[in-house]
Amino acid sequence: MNYKNLFKYLVLFILIYFPIFGHLESLPIRLYDESRLATNAYEMNKDGDYIVTHYDGQPDMWNTKPPLMIWLQVVSIKIFGDGELAVRLPSAIAAFLTCMLILFFSIRYLKDFWFGFIAVIVLITSIGYMNVHAARTGDYDVLLTLFTTLYSLCFFIYIEKGKRKYLYYTIIAITLAVLTKGIAGLLLIPVLFGYTIARKKTLEVLRSKEFYFGIAIFFFFVSGYYLLREYYNTGYLKAVWSNEITERYFAVNENHNEGFWFYYRMLVNHHLIYWYLFVPCGALVGFFHKNGLYRRLAWYLTALIIFFFLIISMGQTQLEWYTVPLYPFLAIIVAMFIHLIFSFIKESEIFSNILKFNTLPYILLFILCINPYVEITNRTFSPKVFSWEEDLYRIDYYMKDAIKGKYDLNGYTLLQNDYGANNLYYINILRDKGVDIRFTYQWEILNPNDKVIAHQQEVKDYITKNYSVEVINSYYNIFFYKIKGKLSND
């Protein structure tokens, strides 16, 4: 590799690094999925049970996804210790590997580094992908996206080239996708099946021994995990059916029903705001590309995008991060349009004759990408909770500082009136550091001389209405009380 090629790879790696890996530990562990996984990983690291995930000492029957992501977080914890970095690093690495996958596919099969460069930059400047609950937090979705992208591209290569090892790679990636997020890992399989029929490769696939060996691999590992978990944790399969299908796709879960066009509005108004207009342009360029490989890729990716979009839009439960697996496909489609203009300027004799060094195509990329990239890096270097979340997460910032030794929380009990996995995660770390601190949802049962922490208004109102207290300290919405006795409300 000459210095010119080395330089362009170095530039790309630097551009990738800051949005994905920069300041991963700044925000506190996020409520709901990330905090649940973080607590699962914390307890798995402590109890050594790598089959049954636990939450607060009990088998977790709410978060019933297979534990591949949690296993990776445990490995990360063993290397880096408990904390936000260890919880989020597997997601960040998965995002980086997805970028490398797109780059490799572009160089090896499309024979064009700059196509991959453009697609990667589009991906890492897509707000929906570089967001909480995606590349920037310890959730399932970016790891799932790595495997769905991998199996989709491997299958495309298999159909194009007929190299049977790619059929193995496809099924292994499908297996890993399911071990990451259960049934969500299978949502794109109908498109692969349809593409096989469209390319008249069905008999070739069915006659391939690799297909049947791959299926055996899939069932061995996937059914093996589910059955083993059921053996050690009776009722698990029933919980999976309830949590992942009947109470999520066919029913509204936790009031998350936003309507069919919810994901379209999210993409256009926020998550793909810089690039959404390029999507139809890229698809049209791909459909009529002079290179047949590009044409087939454009139709294949468009089918994947439309099918997945329809599946998640028709579900009764809709959450903004369900679109995460779409972003690599959308990035490649967008790159088809931008790359067409880039190549035209780069290869044009007019510009080459006028300019000693034709820098115009690179100036074009700079102009197109500078604003999206600046916004993404600003989000990375100055990550903030939304104004409406400030009171919610201030207690976590406080406990993060207590872990560093800035505050003494010995002898206190944190009171919580609703789901608080994020708080429990920090309580566990404080206990490991020798801090005598407790956590309870039974905030209405207090005794004289109890030292308690309250940060939710309902809890604070209840305490001051029903108990004689000494306010030991306060910090914004966080109050530290010593209970003197119960008031008579007669």
Q: Please say if the pLDDT value at position 289 is more than 80.
A: yes
pLDDT tens, residue by residue, 234-258: 999 999 988 877 765 554 455 556 6
What is the Cα 483 distance to its own chain's centre? Answer: 42
Secondary structure element (H or E) that encloses residue 484, with its range? strand 478-486
Q: Are residues 95 and 171 in the same domain?
A: yes
DSSP string, 80-144: H-SSHHHHHHHHHHHHHHHHHHHHHHHHHTS--HHHHHHHHHHHHT-TTTSSTTTTTSS-SHHHH
Q: Structure tokens of 57?
A: 């000492």
pLDDT given for residue 356 in this prediction: 64
| Backbone angle region of 57, left / alpha / beta, with phi > 0 → left and psi within -120 to 50 → alpha | left
Which pLDDT score is estimated for 383? 80
Q: Are 236 and 60 in contact (CB under 8 A)?
A: no
Looking at residue 108, what is its pLDDT? 95
339, 365, 371, 364: which is closest to 274 by C-alpha?
371
Identify the band that residue 386 occupies on the pLDDT scale cut at 50, 70 and 90.
confident
The tokens of 146 are what? 């790595």
Q: What does the pLDDT look like over 75-119, one tens digit per residue?
A: 999 999 999 999 999 999 999 999 999 999 999 999 999 999 999
Q: In the chain, what percentage of residues exceed pLDDT 90?
A: 77
Burial class of residue 356 (count of CB atoms within 10 Å of its CB; 0-12, 13-18, 19+): exposed
CB 317 within 8 A of CB 257: yes
CA 63 vs CA 83, 105, 146, 178, 247: distances in Å: 20, 34, 21, 15, 13
Residues 138 and 280 in one domain: yes
Q: Please, what is the end-to-end C-alpha distance for the chain in angstroms?
A: 85
Across 76-80, 166-170, 351-355, 449-453, least confident range: 351-355
Verify that 482 and 343 share a domain, yes or no.
no
Given 381, 412, 429, the domain boundary residue is 381
Q: Of the candidates 356, 381, 406, which is a domain's last residue?
A: 381
Which stretches of 1-32 are DSSP H helices? 3-21
22: Cβ–Cβ under 8 A, 6 or more apart, which residues?
377, 380, 381
- What secondary structure does DSSP assign to 215-265, as a single string? HHHHHHHHHHHHHHHHHHSTTHHHHHHIIIIITTTSS--TT----TTHHHH
Say how far residue 273 (Cα) sits from the centre of its chain. Answer: 19
- Residues 183/244, Cβ–Cβ less than 8 Å: yes
pLDDT of residue 248: 57
Supply the pLDDT for residue 459.
94
196 band by pLDDT with thresholds 50, 70 and 90: very high
Shared domain for 357 and 418, answered yes or no, is: no
What's the pLDDT score for residue 254? 52
The two structure tokens encoding residue 217: 């691999």
Residue 434, pLDDT score: 94
Whether 321 shows a pLDDT value over 90: the answer reads no
Are 32 and 147 contained in the same domain?
Answer: yes
Find the helix or strand (DSSP H, E) in which 361 lies: helix 360-381
Average pLDDT, the chain: 91
349 and 209 co-located in one domain: yes
153-169: per-residue pLDDT in tens?
999 999 999 888 999 99
Residue 260 has pLDDT above 90, yes or no: no
Band (pLDDT 50/70/90 cuts) for residue 34 is: very high
Confidence band for 335, pLDDT divided at 50, 70 and 90:
very high
Q: Does 367 share its domain with 254?
A: yes
Q: Do residues 474 and 457 lie in contact, with contact meaning Cβ atoms separated by under 8 Å? A: no
395 and 332, same domain (yes or no)? no
Domain boundaries, position 417: 388-486
Q: What mean pLDDT is predicted for residues 183-199?
A: 95
The 10 Å CB-count burial string (b at 16+, else e) for 13-28 is: eebbeebbbbebbebb
Nearest to 74 by CA among 103, 112, 47: 47
Claim: this prediction has a pTM higher than 0.85: yes
Angle between helices 84-108 and 3-21 (to 10 degrees): 140
Contact 117, 104 (CB under 8 A): no
Q: Return the H-helix or E-strand segment holding 151.
A: helix 141-161
Q: How would residue 314 be classed by pLDDT, with cut points 50, 70 and 90?
A: confident
Instruction: Give the end of a domain, one of 381, 409, 431.
Output: 381
* DSSP state string for 121-138: HHHHT-TTTSSTTTTTSS
Residue 234 CA: distances (Å) to CA of 43, 58, 230, 239, 353: 20, 13, 5, 10, 74
Distance CA(292)–CA(253), nearest Å, equals 44
**DSSP for 184-205?**
GGGTTHHHHHHHHHHTT-HHHH
CB 98 within 8 A of CB 146: yes
Q: Does residue 336 sit in the same domain as residue 450?
A: no
When divided into structural domains, the chain yields a total of: 2
Per-residue pLDDT at 250: 52
* 11 and 129 co-located in one domain: yes
Whether residues 65 and 126 fall in one domain: yes
The reply to whether 434 and 305 lie within a common domain is no
